[in-house]
Amino acid sequence: MVRSFGGGTTSVSSKMPGRDRARPSNCFVLNFDRPFIVAFTLFLPVLAAISFAAEPTRDSDYDYDPPAPGSYSLPVIKPAADGALLDSNNKSVKLRDLTRGRITLLSFIYTRCAAPKACPYATGVLTQIHDLSVDDKTLAKSMRLVSLSFDPEYDTPQRLAAYSDNVRDQKSGCEWSFATAKSRAELETILAAYDQAVDKRQNPADPQGPLYHTLRVFLIDREGRIRNIYSSGTLDPRLVVADVKTLLLENARVSKQ
């Protein structure tokens, strides 16, 4: 079956809450300023609450049983757009290189965000999915996570490297890339292509962060096509994993033809 949810999209929606390098002692506290530290401190309880369970479970937010992988189909929405990026190693990379070849979950974030159902929640969900991939060889080799910051002036490669070290409990598992746009102009092109709304808050000292945005996480197949767009109301980790496995089963069927 084809699942379709509201908002005028034909996408199927769900919601589910390396680099191998030694972490320098206390580098996160010593090297970064207060907005970054405050945002991450507020993020920790969200991450802990989401990550404790080894497997995603039903909760009050998602009180339903997700469909079995492969029991439904996911329509193609549109091609995933390209763009020039800098990754957390300060290396130039094309967005298309991070959205082809594997099943990709692309999340737009910024590290200063402290809104509970925005970036902290999305990153917590990706953390849980990454943890699942540590013990699932198929997910580890076939899935990729991408966290793309829309705050390039603040989220430098150095800050993204520290952020990635602190949100990933496991250094094994599937690939997880952290990056931002190479320029503000390039960023605006990427945001427009993905319909990702971002605005400055009237109060730059707002405790939830200086930017207001909608939460959007994109499921992208191996051919670089968007197959689902998750919002804060549909980002259920159980359903995201079912969607990823559905696309893997689709690939397996096609390869046998």
Look at residue 153 in the predicted model and tell me its pLDDT: 93
Look at residue 180 in the predicted model and tell me its pLDDT: 97
Residue boundaries of the structural domains of the chain:
78-256
Contact criterion met (CB below 8 Å) for 105 and 146: yes
Look at residue 35 in the predicted model and tell me its pLDDT: 54
Whole-angstrom distance, CA of residue 38 vs CA of residue 153: 18
Give the sign of the dihedral formed by CA 233, CA 237, CA 239, CA 240: positive
Residue by residue, pLDDT tens for the chain (257 residues) are: 444 333 333 333 333 343 333 333 333 333 445 555 545 454 444 444 444 344 667 776 788 899 999 999 999 999 999 999 999 999 999 999 999 999 999 999 999 999 989 999 999 999 999 999 999 999 999 999 999 999 999 999 999 999 999 988 777 899 999 999 988 899 999 999 999 999 999 898 999 999 989 999 999 999 999 999 999 999 999 999 999 999 999 988 877 76
Nearest Cα to Cα of residue 81 among 132, 22, 148, 143: 148
Going along the chain, which residue ranges are E strands? 78-79, 84-87, 92-94, 103-109, 143-149, 175-181, 198-200, 211-213, 217-220, 225-230
- Give the length of the chain: 257
| CATH code given to domain 78-256 | 3.40.30.10
pTM score: 0.78
Look at residue 67 in the predicted model and tell me its pLDDT: 94
